[in-house]
Amino acid sequence: MLMTKSTGNAYDVALENFDTAADAMGLDKDTREMIKYPERILMVTVPVRMDDGQIHRFEGYRVQHSQVRGPAKGGIRFHPQVTLDEVKALATWMTWKCAVVNIPFGGAKGGITCDPKHMSKGELERMTRRYTSAILPLIGPEQDIPAPDVYTNSQTMAWIMDTYSMTKGYPIPGVVTGKPISLAVRWAAMRPPAAACSTPSSAPANI
């Protein structure tokens, strides 16, 4: 049984998890160096005009651990205790989870340090859209696909999709998973028959 001894932060634990597993597998040093650390780390400032008229600055993150197996995939969380090290750890673990079940994605994660329980819907929308604009260079259906996580939901994903799509000039539902099912159904109804027929029957309606 693989055991870890770290009592540090989440990223320390993730690195120790990796070393323990790599030792058990007899993984060579060059391979370890190639897959152990994140490929990209983006830290952004997210200024938002709050309902009281004042500007509040939030810290946001998007980490892509690996795109070796395919587009990066991972949730976005809104929580007061979100840190860069936590996001790095979660992106790392997402890579291993995708690899273990053999699906063609790499690992990513994102988050904003905020307290959504004390924010209005309007404040959350403005923050989400501003954060999406800040991470636009990293995300996309063939690059990095966000999903819901702690204190984010289908509405959050709809805001992200809408903000991303506005920069392209047409709807791009594949930029996120976890969208409202009704949104996916409306988009499917607008597709040409040939395109609709090419969709695998096993594809979920709320991707």
Q: What is the C-alpha to C-alpha distance for residues 203 and 66, in angstroms, rounded to an integer? A: 24
CB 60 within 8 A of CB 84: no
| 20 and 2 Cβ atoms separated by less than 8 Å | yes
Token look-up 């090290």 returns 85
Rounded-to-integer distance, Cα 95 and Cα 38, Å: 10
Distance CA 177, CA 156 (A): 11
Which of 73, 88, 109, 179 is an active site residue?
109
**Is 36 designated active site?**
no
In contact, 75 and 112? CB cutoff 8 Å: no
For the record, the structure tokens of 191 come out as 């597709």
Residue type, 15: L
Q: For the sheet containing 106-113, what is the strand order?
A: 40-49, 55-64, 106-113, 72-79, 144-148
Annotated active-site positions, please? 109
